[in-house]
Amino acid sequence: MDVPKDQITTSSNTASTPQLRPSVVFSFHRQPLMPKPVLLSDALFREREYRRAIHTYKQALQYYKIIPKQNSTTSRSSLPPNRSSSPNSFNISAINENEVKFKIASCHCALNENRAALAEMEGIPGKSRNLQMNLLMGKLYRNARHSRHAMSCYKECLRHCPYVLEAITALAEMGASAKDIISLFPQTPNRSGRASFDHFDSSRWLQRYVEAQCCIASNDYKGGSELFADLLQRFPNNTHLLLEIAKARLIDPYIVTYMDEYAILLKTKSDYTKLNKLANDLLSIDPTRPEVFVTLSVLWERKDERGALSYAERSIRIDERHIPGHIMKGNLSLTAKRAETAVVAFRSAQELRPDIRSYQGATFKGERSPA
């Protein structure tokens, strides 16, 4: 006698593991309990099983559309007026369709499927989008090079909360002025009609942060560094600010972000002892990050230019939007007299974010080209 596959799954000792829960949930509940597949999908997302998470999220949405919504109304009306409903009484109403779509889009993002993620997010009405949703949409539109839509999303983030530093940085990099960004911040006067001292103090440092980011975006590195240094007086040893001025490793030796920029700085100072140590440290922390391979490219530039170029190209394969990787590839290609490859690399960097280094590289190539 053949035993049904579902019964084998249920009788297994591992039936409670995340890998086997979908079959249990959907096989043994004629009236599906909606929160279970969503919670299971959340668990799969945390385990980085993004494909399975997308599948179970979509199953949850499908059940939500198939099961008549009147069931929830009936369940509610059948309850005594003095009794509250239990969580399982009308499970259909427990699902938030927009939240599930956002989670599906997040899975697609983790798989670098930006088009699918954007299509999913565009299915969420604008008025229903929360802060996280607008932030994700800003990233997706920016990746798709829809700058106008991206700026609108980032601006909406700041209207909700002025402390979303990622939105401030993105707007500055896309050309928004400090005045325009600051004008988005909500005003919160107290009962007397005047802004409180605490609000004034917090808005002042936030304005300086905006000004610093706009300086960096406009290639005024000196002005930006000075503003960040002033902010460090207000927030000593703040990791985010230290990252901006390439000093974070003095505080946290496990930070990888922006450390390839620090590597380039070490090379310009010919401090190869620190550069070699930095490369080894980054390899031991996380050898899958693009910053690691840009740092290796910087380290190997004076020893083996072909090997250095290979490392730069590898950093781009890991993250095609990693600007230092494109700049290193451009510089190394220029040294190897591969002018056209260098121009493509510098242009890629310039399209991602205006940077004086990519502009100088492209200009230098133009000056060396034959008339």
Which CATH number fits the domain that encloses residue 318? Answer: 1.25.40.10
Determine, yes or no, domain membership for 14: no
Q: What is the model's pLDDT at position 19?
A: 45
Determine, yes or no, domain membership for 91: no
- Measure the CA–CA gap between 329 and 115, rounded to whole angstroms: 27
Look up the pTM and report it.
0.60
Would the pLDDT of 98 be above 90?
Answer: yes
Question: Do the Cβ atoms of 296 and 289 come closer than 8 Å?
Answer: no
Determine, yes or no, domain membership for 342: yes
Give the confidence band of 24 by pLDDT, cuts at 50, 70, 90.
Answer: very low
Determine, yes or no, domain membership for 212: no
* Structure-token pair, residue 218: 């406009």
Summarize pLDDT for 165-189 with one digit per residue, the tens: 999 999 999 999 999 999 999 876 5
Determine, yes or no, domain membership for 278: yes
Summarize pLDDT for 294-340 with one digit per residue, the tens: 999 999 998 899 999 999 999 999 999 898 899 999 999 988 888 88
Residues whose CB is less than 8 angstroms from the CB of residue 158 and which lie 6 or more positions away in sequence, other chains included: 164, 167, 168, 171, 181, 184, 185
Would the pLDDT of 5 be above 50?
Answer: no
- Measure the CA–CA gap between 161 and 186, rounded to whole angstroms: 8
DSSP string across 95-152: --HHHHHHHHHHHHHHTT-HHHHHHHHTTS-GGG--HHHHHHHHHHHHHTT-HHHHHH
Determine, yes or no, domain membership for 160: no
Question: Do the Cβ atoms of 210 and 231 come closer than 8 Å?
Answer: no
Rg (CA), the chain: 26
Q: Span 147-169, mean pLDDT? A: 95
Determine, yes or no, domain membership for 307: yes
The one-letter amino acid at 123: G
For residue 260, give its domain range. 252-368
Per the prediction, the chain carries an average pLDDT of 79
- Measure the CA–CA gap between 1 and 279, rounded to whole angstroms: 62
* Structure-token pair, residue 363: 């200009």
Question: Do the Cβ atoms of 28 and 6 come closer than 8 Å?
Answer: yes
Distance from the Cα of residue 263 to its chain's centroid: 23
Would the pLDDT of 370 be above 50?
Answer: no
Ramachandran category for residue 145: left, alpha or beta (phi over 0 → left; psi -120 to 50 → alpha): left
Q: Span 231-260, mean pLDDT? A: 75
Determine, yes or no, domain membership for 290: yes
Q: Is 119 helix (H, G, I), strand (E, B) or coil?
A: helix
Query: Helices H, strands E: what count in the chain?
Result: 21, 0
- The neighbour count for residue 103, using CB atoms within 10 Å, is 19
Would the pLDDT of 277 be above 60?
Answer: yes
Give the confidence band of 106 by pLDDT, cuts at 50, 70, 90.
Answer: very high
Number of structural domains in the chain: 1
Q: What is the model's pLDDT at position 263?
A: 87
Looking up tokens 């800003």, which residue turns up?
138
Pairwise pLDDT comparison (98 vs 24), residue with the higher score? 98
Distance from the Cα of residue 38 to its chain's centroid: 23
Q: What is the model's pLDDT at position 123?
A: 94
Would the pLDDT of 85 be above 50?
Answer: no
Would the pLDDT of 132 be above 80?
Answer: yes
CA-closest candidate to residue 328, choices 264, 276, 280: 264
Give the confidence band of 275 by pLDDT, cuts at 50, 70, 90.
Answer: very high
